[in-house]
Amino acid sequence: MTTATDLLASLADIAPDSELAQARNTREAATRHAQGSYEVIFSQQDADFPLAERFALAARVAEWNAQPTLQAHYQPQAGALDNSPRHELALAWAHRLTFEPVSATPEHLQALQAAGWTARGIVTLSQLVAFINFQSRLRAGLQLLQGHASTANALPVVAGVWHQAATTASGKTALTAFTQQDLGWEPWLAAKPLTEFTDEEKQVLAKFGHSDSDYFRLLARNLPVLEQRTLTDKGIFFTSGGLPRADRELAAAVVSKVNGCIFCASVHARKASQLSKDFDSVEKLIGVAPGGKLSEGQSARWAAIIDFSAALSVTPQQATLGQIVALQQQGLDTLALLDVIQSSAFFAWANRLMLTLGEPFIPSDV
C-alpha cells in the first residue's frame, strides 16, 4: 500500500522508511482494510444517507475526539446540518455513541426511524460514528508511537458503568455483571433475513461465518462496510508475530470494561484466559467495579497494557508517551506496540455497535 492510498499514514505523518511504516506493512491486512473501511463509508451513493451528511457527522465526531487534523480532513466536504429532526437526532446519536454508548436504548433507534432514518441508514450511521472513534484513537496512538507528546491530561484508569436492568427489551434474562461465560445477543433493529440476500451476498456472509448471527445480519444491511470491518478485525487479531494473541484479547476486554460492553468483554476475556492460561488475572480484571482502577493487582506487563488500552479508550483519549515508555520497558517493540494500539482502537469501534444496536442476554440453557 502506498501513502497515496493510506490516509492514516498521511494524517499521522508516518515516514515511509520508518520502523513504524515497516510495522504497518507487516500488518498489511489491517492497514489495507482500515483504509478500505474509510473508502467504502465515504464513497457510497446512498439516498438514505448522502455523503455530505456523512462528512459533516465525521467532522463532528473527530472534533469531539480532539482530533483537529482528522476534523480538517472531513470538514471541506461536509454539508450543513440543519435543525430538522433528522439531523438533530443523528447528531444526538453520534454524540451518544462517542461519549456514552452504554446509555443507548431501543427508544433512541425508534426515534431515528420516526425521523426518517431507514434501518440501513441507522446501521451505516452507527458504523460511521464507530469507525471515526476507531480512526481517532488509531491516529492518536500512531502519533504517540512516533514520540509526539499528547496534550491529554492523565486521568485515573477506571472501569465504566454498565446496564443494570434485570431483563432485556424482549424479556430475556439480562446481565448485571461482567462474566467470562458464553452469552447471547439480541438486536433492537430487525436483522436482515437470510432470504433477502443475493447468492453472492450469502457467500460473503458464509465466508466469515456470519450467516446465522443476528448481529452480523443486522450489520449486513450495509454489507460492503461489514466486509471491510471484518477484514480489519482479522488483520488486527489473527496475525502472527508481534504482541501475543492473549495480550491483544486482553486489550479488547479492557476497552470493553471502559465502555461497559459486557458482551464483548465476555468473548475476549474468555479468549485471553484460554490463551494466557491465567483465568484468575482475567477474572480480576473483569470483576473491577465501576470507578475502580483496572490494572490493580496485575503483573507489571499486563498493568502496562491495561493502563494504556484504557487511557486510549476514553473520549477524548488520554494515553501518554509515558505509557508507551512503560510498555517498551516490558519488552514491547514497535510491532507489538502497534498491535496494542490497533487492538484497543478497534474495540472503540466494536463496542459502539454492540452497545447501541442491541444487548446481551443469558441463554436459557446456561
My answer on whether 64 and 189 are in the same domain is: no
Whether 267 is in a domain gets the answer yes
Which pLDDT value is given to residue 44? 97
Domain count, the chain: 2
Looking at per-residue confidence, does 154 or 120 come out higher? Answer: 120
**Please, what is the angle between helix 334-357 and helix 300-313, to 10°?**
50
Whether residues 118 and 91 fall in one domain? yes
- Does one domain contain both 171 and 142? no
Phi-psi map region of 43: left, alpha, beta (phi>0 left; psi -120 to 50 alpha)? alpha
- Do 354 and 242 sit in the same domain of this protein? yes
Query: Is the domain of 67 the same as that of 140?
Result: yes
User: 290 and 171 in one domain?
Assistant: yes
- Is residue 200 in some structural domain? no
Per-residue pLDDT at 5: 81
User: Are 349 and 267 in a shared domain?
Assistant: yes
pLDDT tens by residue, 94-117: 999 999 999 999 999 999 999 999
Are 171 and 308 within one domain?
A: yes
| Shared domain check, 139 and 162 | no
Give the C-alpha separation, 309 to 183, whole Å: 24
Whether residue 84 is found in the same domain as residue 105? yes
Shortest CA distance to 137 belongs to which of 34, 277, 276? 34
Please indicate, yes or no, if residue 221 is contained in any of the structural domains. Answer: no
CATH number at residue 303: 1.20.1290.10
pTM for the whole structure: 0.96
47 in a structural domain:
yes
Residue 214 belongs to some domain of the structure: no
Q: Which range marks the domain in which residue 46 is found?
A: 17-146
C-alpha cell at 168: 432485556
Domain end: 146, 175, 206, which one?
A: 146
Nearest by Cα to 103 from 92, 119, 117, 115: 92
Calculate ∠ Cα 163-169-174, nearest 5°: 45
pLDDT tens, residue by residue, 141-182? 999 999 987 766 666 778 999 989 999 999 999 999 999 999
pLDDT digits (tens, 9 = 90+) for 285-334: 999 999 999 999 999 999 999 999 999 999 999 999 999 999 999 999 99
d(CA 342, CA 135): 10
Q: Quick check: is 21 in a domain?
A: yes
Looking at the domain assignment, is residue 230 inside a domain?
no
pLDDT in tens, 219-264: 999 999 999 999 999 999 999 999 999 999 999 999 999 999 999 9
Look up residue 361 and give its three cell numbers. Answer: 442476554
Is the same domain home to 129 and 266? no
Last residue of a domain, one of 111, 146, 181: 146
316 and 273, same structural domain?
Answer: yes
Residue 70 lies inside a defined structural domain of this protein: yes
Residue 167: what residue type?
T
Answer yes or no: are the C-beta atoms of 356 and 187 closer than 8 Å. no
One-character DSSP codes across 286-340: HTPPTTSBTTTT--HHHHHHHHHHHHHHSSS----HHHHHHHHHTT--HHHHHHH
- The answer to whether 131 and 33 are in contact (CB under 8 A) is no
Cα–Cα distance measured from residue 30 to residue 338, given in angstroms and rounded to the nearest whole number:
11
- State which of 86, 112, 146 marks the end of a domain: 146
